[in-house]
Amino acid sequence: MRIGILTSGGDCPGINATIRGVCKTAISHYGMEVFGIHSGFRGLLDDEIEPLTESSLTGLLNMGGTILGTSREKPFKKRVTDSEDKPARMLRNINKYGLDCIVCIGGNGTQKTAAKLAAAGVNVVTVPKTIDNDVWGTDISFGFDSAVSIATDAIDRLHSTASSHQRVMVIEVMGHKAGWIALYSGMAGGGDIILLPELPFDIHRIGDTIISRLKKGKPYSIVVVAEGIPTLNGKKAAQYIAEEIEYETGFETRETVLGYIQRGGSPTAFDRNLATRMGGHATELAAAGMFGRMVSLRGDEITSVPLEEVAGKLKVVTEDHDLIIQGKRMGVCFG
C-alpha cells in the first residue's frame, strides 16, 4: 500500500510527532510506502511530493513545527483568478504517484477540505490538530496541552509582578471562537476573572469583582481573556478589557498578549504520546480500508468518527462544563 501524508492550517506542537507515528507504523509494521506532501493541499496541487523513509523521521518526536510545511490552501474554494480546476489537478497527482490513501493532519478547515476530497472519491483518513481544542468529535486534540502549559506558565509569572506592584494584569490567550485555552490555563494558573467567547460578560460586574477583592485584602487581580471575546471599535481583547477595568475601578492595569508563543516549540509529554497514538491509529485505519474517518480520543480510548459528521462543526465551551461550575464555586468570575 502507498500512502501520502500532509499537514495543513496553522502550526502546532505535536505535528512532527504525528507524522512520525503515521510513517513509522506504516513502514515498520505494515511495510507501506509513504510519500510526504509539502505545504498542505498546495503540495497536492503543485506536485511537491517526495518519498519518506525511516531516516526522514529521525528526531521528530520533540521537534516543533512541521517538516512537511503547511499552508491554508482551500482547493475547493473557487476563485475568479483560478485558471484550472484545482480538485482535478489534485486527483491527477494522487493518481500519478499511485497513492492509495491520503492522511491529512489539520484543524477545522482541513477536516472540511478532507471531507470534500473523500466525497470526490479519494481515500482519506484525518488526524485532528489544533491548540484551540475546537475540533468536533474528539475530547482533546494534540497541541492543546502544550498551549495550555505555555499559557499557564505565563500566568504564573504574572502573579509575582501583579503582587509586587499591586496591579491588575490582563493576559490574552488564543481562541477566536472557542475559549478552551483561556478556561484551562486560567483555572490552572489561578486566574481571578476568566473571559471566554462563549459566555457573555458585564464589564461593571468585572469591576465590582476587582473592587470586592481589594476590600477583602487582595490588592491585585489576574484576568485571563480569550482573543475572541467581543470588543468595541476593533480593539484587541486585552487592550479593551484593561482600559475598561481602569475606567471602572481606577486601578492601574496592564495587558500582555501571549500570541504565537503558544503555538511554537516542543510538545509536552502528553501531546507527544497523544500524537504518537493518533498517528499510529490513522495508519491502522488506512491499512484496514476504513476511509473517510477522523481519528478521535474518547476518554482514554483512541477511536475514529465519520468525517462527514465532523466537517463544519465546532466544539465550544458550554456553561455547564465542570471547570466553570467548580470555578464559580471557588469565586472565579466568568463575566
Q: What is the pLDDT of residues 91-135, one digit of tens each?
A: 999 999 999 999 999 999 999 999 999 999 999 999 999 999 999
Distance CA(53)–CA(249), nearest Å, equals 61
Residues 102/108/113/115 CA torsion (nearest 10 deg) = 70
- pLDDT tens digits, residue range 156-194? 999 988 888 889 999 999 999 999 999 999 999 999 999
Number of H helices, E strands in the chain: 11, 11
Instruction: Look up residue 296 and give its three cell numbers.
Output: 478521535
Residues 6+ apart with CB under 8 A from 300: none
User: Which pTM value belongs to this model?
Assistant: 0.94
Q: What is the DSSP letter of 267?
A: P
Mean pLDDT of 16-28: 98
Q: What is the DSSP letter of 78?
A: -
Phi first, then psi: what are they for 234, rounded to 5°?
70, 15
Instruction: Look up residue 239 and give its three cell numbers.
Output: 487592550
Distance CA(225)–CA(124), nearest Å, equals 37
Residue type at position 280: G
Q: What is the largest CA-CA distance in the chain?
A: 71
Active-site amino acid positions: 132
Q: Mean of the per-residue pLDDT values for the chain?
A: 95
Residue 311 has what pLDDT? 87
- pLDDT tens digits, residue range 292-312? 999 999 999 999 999 999 988
Mean pLDDT of 268-295: 98
Residue type at position 48: E
Residue 85 pLDDT level (bands cut at 50, 70, 90): confident
Distances (CA, A) of 311 to 28, 140, 206, 245: 32, 16, 36, 39
Q: Are 116 and 110 in contact (CB under 8 A)?
A: no
Q: Are 26 and 32 in contact (CB under 8 A)?
A: yes
Q: Are 216 and 208 in contact (CB under 8 A)?
A: no
Q: For residue 177, give the 3-state DSSP assignment.
A: coil
Mean pLDDT of 198-207: 96
Where is pLDDT greater, at 81 or 213? 213
Residue 81 has what pLDDT? 61
Residue 202 has what pLDDT? 96
Distance CA(149)–CA(262), nearest Å, equals 9
18-32, 83-97, 208-222, 259-273 — which is least confidently predicted?
A: 83-97
